[in-house]
Structure 1
Amino acid sequence: MRPKIVLALSAFVFLHPASADTRLSDYVRPMVGTQGEGNTFPGPSAPFGMVQLSPDTDPITWATASGYEYTDPSIMGFSMTHLSGTGIPELGDFLFVPQTGEPKLDPGPKDKPDEGYRSRFSHDQETASAGYYQVKLLDSGVNAEMTAGLRSGMLRFTFPEGQSSILTDLHHFLTGDHFKMIWSHLRVEDGSTITGMHLVDGWAKERQIFFAAKFSRPFDSYKVYSDGKEVKYDSYKTYRFRSSREVFGNNLRFLAEYDTKADEVIQVKIGISPVSVENAMANLDGEIPEWDFDGLMEKTKSAWDAELAKLQLTEGSQEQKETFYTALYHCFMAPTLYQDANGEYRGLDREVHQAEGFTNHTVFSLWDTFRATHPLFCLIQPKRNVDMINSMLAHYDQSADHMLPIWSLQSGETWCMIGYHSVPVIVDAMVKGLEGFDKEHAYEAVMATATHPEYDGIAAYEKLGYVPFDLENESVSKTLEYAYDDYCVARMAELFGKEDDQARFEKRAASYKNLYDPETGLMRGKDSTGKWREDFNPHEYVQMGDFTEGTSWQYTWHVQQDVEGLAELMGGKEAFVAKLDQLFTFHDDETTDMEDVQGRIGEYWHGNEPAHHVLYMYAVAGQPWKGQEKIRHILKTQYGNRPDALTGNDDCGQMSAWYLFSSLGFYPMCPASDSYVFGSPSIEHAVMDLGNGRKLDIKAENQGDANVYIQSVEVNGKPWTDVRLPYAEIKDGGNIVYHMGPAPSQWGAGDRVK
């Protein structure tokens, strides 16, 4: 997640009446998050699939990091790969563009589609559902449909009568200003098949990807272009072109030309691979052997039905079910599959590896997803979560830096964000008893990562007990996030009985205390001599200052591993709660509305991940009702079933995972601990499938918009007064019953912070 922009809210609302035969996938609204802050994409993907086939409206802006922004007026075309909810443009590989009339080779500006191959479109003639996307391109009159499998996808274009074409643009990808296309290769295999690859210097350096595409109708004619010029073979003038059937360069395009009848359908099926053209073709042929668009769509929709059944909302309004299942859908978009059908994948060392005993995944947005997404996977995707951990360990083995992933993308490490948040993912899985990965090897990787002397101030952090601001940007945030990660390392050392390591990292986990300023009652930067930062404004957001995407007021609470210690620094639990109250009531002269489209309530910023555990601190501090009211308010106002319903980047499912846990009434406030913290459920009845026949049944009696306060709780038939829910109570299934009411109760109040 990176800095936000503010967009106006849309009045668009999805209204789809439910019927008796409604499938779970029918509730999914892929348009949610495509307008404003969410940065999701509307096109089809299989659960955790390697292909995300979706329209691109702009290749370069923050608002179109996923390729698509709901308010854009035109569509460039449809590319094979996309990121879900991130804040940096990347992927968008291999753009397919249907055209009519005289073909164009460049997209042109999005507000002037007539100057290029873009086309205007209308949301009235656009459909998106799980496994399917359709749009009518108004300028060309082409109806475009698409569906996707795990490693392949299908396009179905319905053309009007006349001169038509399908352009494949290998130069296109989603990019920042400093990214560039390094090299491409295109080959015409026969009269209806093309293959190729490109190498991109993007967010992930030297990102290499291959494709194979088959067209349902042989080309009437075709052209190959390099740097905008048609390639015509002349061996005396160039060495790059073996023939007009094969071309190399960094700006390549292929044009398939047709004379079409009215309403003629031409389909394209495409496979991709991180390894080779041959693997891309094998992925394609193995997954889509026939020209059966509807069959592939049904297969993918059924796959979504099966995955969505792992967390079912059995009662609720249409809007609530659409919001709930769309959130679950977004959680299951990433991390993505990153290996071919034969088990091969390209590793961090750029070599081809064979996955042995696990399925390789990529797209680890760990600064975000360690908080709730991976803890959710521990419950309802345990096998896949173990595959992801094995993928992280493979990354470590292939890393020249001998580190676990920070923010890995395909065969690259982006080094985006801070902390070493592979660690809580691995330790949380160990604490929850997940099997299937080498724990000794994991311990080695965790220790090597947490002690790496050249990573972002770690050496100074261990020596001084904090990261000094004169040596490192984002020094306070790094200190706080390292301290949490070190708590996780200490828990892992405890599991292994390594007392010296445990003591070392428990000391490091308390490092947050060294940056607590008793004068302001907030976290504050120190230099390497121990002096406080003098020009300290606790409300100031400075990119690459002492804090990461936040202010001192927001980051002061990033101590989920030791709430009691933070409360003691603040003068006890009453003072702690009073200070926490101020987070939500801050107001300055420039702010007339405490809540904006970025998810702000006072200084609390729900649209960004470091805030996600904060509301649950009220419960641990003995006043759970204060958090309950605010949790329900956020569930109601900052989520929904509209395109503009997400108030922050979804960040590979983290915003959505917060919604799911919170709507169920409990949250992993401190991943890698052995418990959750109760909040305020917004559902009436849900069932979580833990696998092997184990189910957790969750009910909220007397539920309603006004009844946001817990009056009592039963866990597995026992009255429950503790605000913490131990994992041991739910790991084998069981039931949770909440009794709700309109006024705060004394449930959960007591001598807290223990």
Structure 2
Amino acid sequence: MKSTFAYSIALGITILFSSFTPKPKTKQPADYVNPFIGATTSIGLAGTYHGLGKTFPGAATPFGMVQVSPNTITGGDNGSGYSDEHRTIEGFALTQMSGIGWYGDMGNFLVMPTTGALKTAAGKENGTKGYRSVYDKKSEKASAGYYSVQLTDYAVKAELTAATHSGVMRFTFPENKQSRIQIDLARRVGGTSTLQYVKVVNDHAIEGWMKCTPDGGGWGNGDGLADYTVYFYAEFSKPLKNYGVWSAAIPDTWKRKAENVFSEEYQSVVAHSAILKGTKEKEGKRLGFYTEFATKKGEQVLIKTGISYNSITGAKANLGIEIPDWNFDQIHEQARLKWNDALSKIKVTGGTEDEKTVFYTALYHTLIDPRTFEDLDGNYLGGDGKIHQSKQFTKRTIFSGWDVFRSQMPLQTIINPVVVNDMINSLVTLADEKQKDYLERWELLNAYSGCMIGNPAVSVITDAYRKNIRNFDVPKAYQLSVNSVEKFGNGDRGFSGESVGIARTLEYAYTEWCVAMLAKDLGKAADEEKYAKRSLSYKNIFDPEKKWFRPKDENGNWLPWPAKGRMQQDYGCMESNPYQQGWFVPHDIEGMVNLMGGKEHVIADLNAFFDNAPENMKWNDYYNHPNEPVHHVPFLYNRLGAPWLTQKRSRDICRNAYHNSVEGLVGNEDVGQMSAWYVLATAGLHPVCPGDNRYEITSPLFNSVELKLDPTYAKGKTFNIIAKNNSAENIYIQKATLNGKVYNKCYLNHDQIISGGTLVLTMGNQPNKNWGLE
């Protein structure tokens, strides 16, 4: 039996050591990011050709120029270049688009570690074998700023991380006498680069460029007019001793759109490319570069690459400043810290671990675009093909207008107003540089792509100006806004008669209202009156007999009413039906409701709209969350005197349309829009009408939400939303206080938010139909 003394000593030692037991590490926002959420283009899983999230899982930095990501496919409507259900990887590219369809673009500088005989074509998933490799799905890992995977065919582990303008890849090879890093310089997600150049600079580096024109497909298979050149400077950790170039003899007469490039004939020519050993410099139509070396088991070989859209000199300088050495782990940690800082703009407590993962991944997806388009020295390529120097703003690109004006840009006006200001400057100066007198609706790498409809840039400019985000050429922005609604608007005729006449008429009416509001703020009374009148043109396509919106032909005659009525997909609409598009009169809800038969009738119709949608929220003829035209609809109840229904509907959507899984986005991410909706809705705020500064209050998912404000644009430091007694059942607001005072309105304005403060909501499991009616 132990003595009392010995027992005491043992007990003391136990207590001493237990006091030094490390506490569980507190998770940071970046730790919750799961880049695999939405990373599929599967039509089968979506049940529609639109697919699901279409995000990429690779490494990036907030609003960075570079996204180092695995690519599993080059063709079709696979804009991110990756889809989770694929089981082979064809390489790792330096540039990716997030959540888009229409064939996509980028996916440039495709790097692949290989062993054995050199192959010059990627081959196809479940088809012709090339240099692509089967990969171990269980080995695949992704986090904020990092990606890794095991390539089965070559027994190579690939790791990726990124800086803003550059990326580094680390490959762990097996023992092999013929290991290799090969780079497909012609590769492009939606087609091909049309001309490439590569030069061996020294025994560790190459440089060159890849020219991508509409003739090579890309954005909209060329219809998006993407025309850009990616300049690169790449360094290898292992000396270039046995290297060369491969070059495919593409006949001058061959077309090079997607359907041509992905044909068996074209790919056969690529597979039989001439291999030019020892070639130090080459320009051609279908080039690749390779360097071979012997490796020991577990030997790591790295390639780091800087890019620029201006020059090789810019690419080299970007790389030299951002990744001066070979410390992969340090670059990874820097990327993670950047993400942690960016994601800390919003702090949430409460909710489940999965809900936090979905939230911070959604926030992560909103911070990819609009990405920087200038080098570290501030130089950027203008729309005139000349190099310009940014002085008062960062040149940005990828403005998915028709999508992002609804939630993404309003979110950024709160947490990143400087990004909104940059984007407006980028669009306004681009119009000047391209000698265009209107604003582009879907800008990509300086291209006026003409994609989608409406005048979304006008909405973003108006919303920003009215929120005191005004660090741009206001007179020029105003004139471009006026020119845009004159060029693309309902005009004096009062409707749009094109094939998507309902969608155009309603979208144009809204942006004509935006111009009226901008004119009002600028003291332009005549313009205010003119465009306010035009903003009511939506009424001209409401058919009182059918009691809904109906398209007209160019002569103003009603188009034939289909058997399915307002449920008919694409009847006067863009990617929607009249039932879905018809709710888009955000600037005159009272007028819309009067046309539709009054509040009670509209509430009943809205209830049917939601109740008939499938529980999984996938593509359907009713409330169709996968597509943007309905994203404001859940919040209309606030304007109808039934805010408890906004609370119910938004919580239903957050629960059913977003998940911590690859299939976790029910529709295309659309460059941040789908995720921004979730971020705002779960925070308890969402606009109906960007430009009127009103945010609808809804049921927060989390117990507390802290929004960090930008001191340049805000008076306060933070705005806090606290939900007491919050749970999965307690979704209804019972009462509220704002900064300690009773608050009975179901909305806040922007000034209230940026002044800082605290909104406290007390939640319950039954609606309080008396709250929020002031």
TM-score, normalisation: structure 1 = 0.91
**Aligned residue pair count:** 703
* Alpha-carbon distance between aligned partners in 1 of 2:601 and 2:572, rounded to the nearest angstrom: 25
> SS at 2:709's partner residue?
strand
Deviation sequence 1:435-494 (CA, Å, 0-9, x none): 322222221221122222xx4xx3xx21310001xxx22121011111111111111000
Q: CA deviation at 1:182?
A: 2.0
Q: CA deviation at 1:749?
A: 6.0
Residue 654 of structure 2 corresponds to which residue in structure 1? Answer: 635
> SS at 2:239's partner residue?
coil
The question of 1:103 aligning with 2:118 is answered: yes
* Alpha-carbon distance between aligned partners in 2 of 1:446 and 1:350, rounded to the nearest angstrom: 24
Structure 1 segments unaligned to the other structure (5+ residues): 1-17, 234-242, 587-592
* Alpha-carbon distance between aligned partners in 2 of 1:539 and 1:568, rounded to the nearest angstrom: 18
> SS at 2:149's partner residue?
strand
- Give the counterpart of 1:182 among 194, 205, 208: 194
The question of 1:86 aligning with 2:100 is answered: yes
Partners of 2:37 and 2:662 within 8 A in 1: yes
Could you tell me which amino acid in structure 2 is paired with residue 344 of structure 1?
N
Could you tell me which amino acid in structure 1 is paired with residue 173 of structure 2?
F
Q: CA deviation at 1:325?
A: 0.7
The question of 1:46 aligning with 2:61 is answered: yes
Q: CA deviation at 1:747?
A: 3.4
Q: CA deviation at 1:180?
A: 4.3
Could you tell me which amino acid in structure 2 is paired with residue 483 of structure 1?
A
- Give the counterpart of 2:237 among 209, 216, 222: 216
* Alpha-carbon distance between aligned partners in 2 of 1:496 and 1:539, rounded to the nearest angstrom: 39
* Alpha-carbon distance between aligned partners in 2 of 1:668 and 1:392, rounded to the nearest angstrom: 23
Residue 65 of structure 1 corresponds to which residue in structure 2? Answer: 79
The question of 1:494 aligning with 2:520 is answered: yes
Could you tell me which amino acid in structure 2 is paired with residue 682 of structure 1?
L
* Alpha-carbon distance between aligned partners in 1 of 2:280 and 2:241, rounded to the nearest angstrom: 15
Residue 31 of structure 1 corresponds to which residue in structure 2? Answer: 36
> SS at 1:548's partner residue?
coil
Could you tell me which amino acid in structure 2 is paired with residue 594 of structure 1?
P
The question of 1:594 aligning with 2:638 is answered: no
Residue 509 of structure 2 corresponds to which residue in structure 1? Answer: 483
> SS at 2:491's partner residue?
helix
- Give the counterpart of 2:688 among 666, 669, 693: 669
The question of 1:512 aligning with 2:538 is answered: yes
Backbone CA RMSD of aligned residues: 1.7
Could you tell me which amino acid in structure 2 is paired with residue 84 of structure 1?
S
Partners of 2:746 and 2:773 within 8 A in 1: no
The question of 1:705 aligning with 2:734 is answered: no
The question of 1:421 aligning with 2:444 is answered: no
Residue 359 of structure 1 corresponds to which residue in structure 2? Answer: 394
The question of 1:284 aligning with 2:284 is answered: no
Residue 558 of structure 2 corresponds to which residue in structure 1? Answer: 532
Could you tell me which amino acid in structure 2 is paired with residue 465 of structure 1?
G
- Give the counterpart of 1:739 among 746, 749, 762: 762
- Give the counterpart of 1:157 among 165, 171, 178: 171
* Alpha-carbon distance between aligned partners in 2 of 1:674 and 1:131, rounded to the nearest angstrom: 34
- Give the counterpart of 1:714 among 737, 762, 771: 737
Counterparts of residues 53-452 of structure 1 (less than 5 Å): 53-62=68-77, 64-88=78-102, 89-112=104-127, 115-162=129-176, 163-175=178-190, 179-200=191-212, 201=214, 202-203=218-219, 204-227=225-248, 228-230=272-274, 232=276, 244-452=279-487
Residue 614 of structure 1 corresponds to which residue in structure 2? Answer: 633
Partners of 2:246 and 2:276 within 8 A in 1: no
Partners of 1:696 and 1:730 within 8 A in 2: yes
Partners of 2:618 and 2:626 within 8 A in 1: yes
Q: CA deviation at 1:584?
A: 2.4
* Alpha-carbon distance between aligned partners in 2 of 1:597 and 1:419, rounded to the nearest angstrom: 26
> SS at 1:667's partner residue?
strand
Provide closer, same or farther for how the CA distance between residues 118 and 231 of structure 1 changes in structure 2, counting only shifts above 3 A: closer
Q: CA deviation at 1:539?
A: 4.6
Partners of 2:185 and 2:288 within 8 A in 1: yes
Could you tell me which amino acid in structure 2 is paired with residue 627 of structure 1?
T
Q: Which stretch has the larger CA shift, 690-699 or 116-125?
A: 690-699
Deviation sequence 1:54-99 (CA, Å, 0-9, x none): 000001132x311111111110000010011111321100100100
Larger of the two Rg values belongs to structure: 2
Q: CA deviation at 1:594?
A: 2.7
Q: CA deviation at 1:542?
A: 4.8
Q: CA deviation at 1:627?
A: 2.3
Could you tell me which amino acid in structure 2 is paired with residue 322 of structure 1?
T
Q: Which stretch has the larger CA shift, 711-720 or 478-487?
A: 711-720
Q: CA deviation at 1:569?
A: 0.6
* Alpha-carbon distance between aligned partners in 2 of 1:172 and 1:363, rounded to the nearest angstrom: 20
Q: CA deviation at 1:682?
A: 1.1
Deviation sequence 1:385-421 (CA, Å, 0-9, x none): 2111111111121233322121111121221110110
- Same amino acid, percent of matched pairs: 38
> SS at 1:125's partner residue?
strand
Partners of 1:108 and 1:116 within 8 A in 2: yes
Could you tell me which amino acid in structure 2 is paired with residue 302 of structure 1?
L
Deviation sequence 1:163-187 (CA, Å, 0-9, x none): 1111110111101xxx443211111
Could you tell me which amino acid in structure 2 is paired with residue 108 of structure 1?
G
* Alpha-carbon distance between aligned partners in 2 of 1:51 and 1:111, rounded to the nearest angstrom: 29
Partners of 1:136 and 1:144 within 8 A in 2: yes
Residue 12 of structure 1 corresponds to which residue in structure 2? Answer: none
Q: Which stretch has the larger CA shift, 505-514 or 625-634?
A: 625-634
Deviation sequence 1:289-330 (CA, Å, 0-9, x none): 111111111111111111111101133321121111111100
Q: Which stretch has the larger CA shift, 285-294 or 716-725?
A: 716-725
* Alpha-carbon distance between aligned partners in 1 of 2:689 and 2:741, rounded to the nearest angstrom: 24
> SS at 1:123's partner residue?
strand
Q: CA deviation at 1:380?
A: 0.7
Provide closer, same or farther for how the CA distance between residues 19 and 72 of structure 1 changes in structure 2, counting only shifts above 3 A: farther
The question of 1:463 aligning with 2:492 is answered: yes
Provide closer, same or farther for how the CA distance between residues 276 and 724 of structure 1 changes in structure 2, counting only shifts above 3 A: same
* Alpha-carbon distance between aligned partners in 2 of 1:292 and 1:576, rounded to the nearest angstrom: 61
Partners of 1:349 and 1:411 within 8 A in 2: no
Q: CA deviation at 1:354?
A: 1.6
* Alpha-carbon distance between aligned partners in 2 of 1:289 and 1:683, rounded to the nearest angstrom: 42
Partners of 1:715 and 1:729 within 8 A in 2: no
* Alpha-carbon distance between aligned partners in 2 of 1:658 and 1:541, rounded to the nearest angstrom: 26
* Alpha-carbon distance between aligned partners in 1 of 2:432 and 2:565, rounded to the nearest angstrom: 41
* Alpha-carbon distance between aligned partners in 2 of 1:726 and 1:77, rounded to the nearest angstrom: 48
Partners of 1:487 and 1:505 within 8 A in 2: yes
* Alpha-carbon distance between aligned partners in 2 of 1:547 and 1:483, rounded to the nearest angstrom: 15
Structure 2 segments unaligned to the other structure (5+ residues): 1-22, 43-51, 220-224, 249-271
Partners of 2:567 and 2:579 within 8 A in 1: no
Q: CA deviation at 1:619?
A: 1.3
* Alpha-carbon distance between aligned partners in 1 of 2:273 and 2:120, rounded to the nearest angstrom: 10
Partners of 1:223 and 1:230 within 8 A in 2: no
> SS at 1:463's partner residue?
coil
